[in-house]
Structure 1
Amino acid sequence: MHTWHWRNWEGLPYLTCSILENWHHGFFTQQFWPRSPQDITPILQPEASVYRLKQVHGNTVLTPEEVESSLKALGDDLASADGLISEQPLQAIWVASADCTPVLIGDVKTGQVAAIHAGWRGTAKKIVPQAIARLQSQGSQLDDLRIAMGPAIAGEVYQVSIEVAAEIGATIIPDNNEGKIITALHLLPNSPLLEDANSGKVRLDVRRVNTLQLESLGITGEQIAIAPYCTFQTPEHFFSYRREKEKKVQWSGIVSRKTTGISQKF
């Protein structure tokens, strides 16, 4: 089993996961607000260059070079996307979340990393498989990937419409019929859907849907770790947009490595 550890920086708590022990990384708590990735990166790796995005709930995944090109072309402060993938060592890549899922990925052979913001819209657009396809285009093998999904809103408290559930469900149940998708989702082992008392509503586990998308690619459950924390139900550590209706976030980041040929046992 992969374990999650609370770390401490100057009295402030953040999470790490054993599955990513080969990388400097962290899922940071609301206690770090309003510090930016530029402020937090030195906690992980002072030598790293820092990259973050203007997140737009899409499925675009950029490299740092593409971020730099975008900024030059458009003259904006931040590039618009929801995923980052490293190209060189010592690149710190960051995503922000309040209830959406922060996903950090490392490749044990190449040392490359990815950071993804996967809310329900990004998940419906298969952003995590998109990021993995980009890693593969840069030489990654599926067996070498290690994936950690950080604190996010849990399915038991995340009410969505049947329409939203079907839109996301279509990524793992290939059907155009809303009712058939919902029925098939309910029948899955460890279903990502739970019943809701309100008509036309269900409870949705977005992290479980992302896991099913990954497994459909051939990634095993042993390569995936899911944080045992719900942002909505853990107000002492995490902001939740659904709980507070405030646009505050916590940051999650990971730094690409110099070392190649790392081995990791399960």
Structure 2
Amino acid sequence: MHTWQWRTWNDSPYLTCSVLESWKHGFFTQQCHPRLPEELTQGLQPSAASYRVKQVHGNVVLIPSQIETGNQNNVNALEPPAADGLVTEQANQAVWVCSADCTPVLIADAVTGQVAAVHAGWRGTAQKIVPEAIARLQSQGSHLENLRIAMGPAISGEVYQVSEHVAAQVGATIAPLDLSNLPDAIADLRQMPHSPIFDDPEPGRARLDVRQVNALQLAQLGISPDQIAIAPHCTYQEPSHFFSYRRSREKKAQWSGIVSREVL
């Protein structure tokens, strides 16, 4: 059983997870706003180079050298490239994603020491952003049995209301569904073991557990449940610690990051 621990940096709380205990990492809270990753990295590993992307709810995963090359090609670049995942290439690289209801996913390889940070909202999850990041790690020598994965604070399934169309679109990544027949598709999802779908009192709506969909995607890749940890925290229901776009409609977010380390 993996545990989650509250820690403090500059009087601000953040979370770590035992599944990633061999890596410097953190799921930071709203108390760290408006600090950016470049500053937050100082709280994890001051010597690490920091990388982030412009998140666009897609499934593109980049590596630091692609960001550096892009900056060299465009000296006037004011923002990082568009993507929703980052995979490191060498030790001492810190990769970051921000979220305000979407799922921040941090992935680490126990053998190579490389890591990934992924922004997995419902759109990215529908496009299998986490399996995309894992495929990128595999292309760099990772093996599935060596991966350690933590999903941070996000909106929980019990309160995340979406349309049945969205629920089915996301659910189609883990089950063969006929999206032209929404009632049957939703019924099929509800009957799944460990279903990510919950009833909603409003017609045409459902409650969706995005983290559970990601966990099922990982299981279908062959990743064991003991390699995965899901934070027992909901951004929507815990306003004292987390921004929630669904709750407040404010465009604010908390950052999550992890630092790669030397090969064992």
TM-score, length-normalised on structure 2? Answer: 0.96
Q: Does 1:42 find its partner at 2:42?
A: yes
- For residue 128 of structure 1, give the secondary structure of its aligned residue in structure 2: helix
2: CA distance, partners of 1:180 / 1:146: 35
2: CA distance, partners of 1:56 / 1:109: 31
The aligned counterpart of 1:264 is none
2: CA distance, partners of 1:138 / 1:162: 38
Q: Percent identity between the aligned chains?
A: 63
1: CA distance, partners of 2:220 / 2:127: 15
2: CA distance, partners of 1:192 / 1:58: 21
2: CA distance, partners of 1:87 / 1:103: 18
The aligned counterpart of 2:115 is 113
Q: Match for 1:82 among 81, 84, 87?
A: 84
The aligned counterpart of 2:218 is 214
Any idea what the Cα deviations from partners look like across 1:185-223, whole Å, max 9, x if unmatched? 101122101000000000000000000000000001111
Amino acid at match of 1:134: R
Q: Does 1:228 find its partner at 2:232?
A: yes
Amino acid at match of 1:47: S
Unaligned runs of 5+ in 1: 261-266
Give the Å deviation of 1:11: 1.7
- For residue 155 of structure 1, give the secondary structure of its aligned residue in structure 2: coil
The aligned counterpart of 2:29 is 29
Give the Å deviation of 1:40: 0.6
Any idea what the Cα deviations from partners look like across 1:225-256, whole Å, max 9, x if unmatched? 00000000000000000111000000000000
Amino acid at match of 1:69: T
2: CA distance, partners of 1:147 / 1:7: 19
The aligned counterpart of 1:17 is 17
Unaligned runs of 5+ in 2: none
2: CA distance, partners of 1:168 / 1:72: 37
Q: Match for 2:130 among 125, 128, 131?
A: 128
Give the Å deviation of 1:10: 2.6
Structure 1 runs (4+) deviating above 6 angstroms are none
- For residue 2 of structure 1, give the secondary structure of its aligned residue in structure 2: coil
2: CA distance, partners of 1:222 / 1:198: 36
Aligned alpha-carbon RMSD (Å): 1.0
The aligned counterpart of 1:71 is 71
Q: Is the 8 A contact 2:53 2:82 kept in 1?
A: yes
The aligned counterpart of 1:100 is 102
TM-score, length-normalised on structure 1? Answer: 0.96
Further displaced range: 43-52 or 6-15: 6-15
Q: Is the 8 A contact 1:173 1:181 kept in 2?
A: no
Q: Match for 1:149 among 148, 151, 160?
A: 151
Q: Is the 8 A contact 1:160 1:202 kept in 2?
A: yes
1: CA distance, partners of 2:119 / 2:128: 11
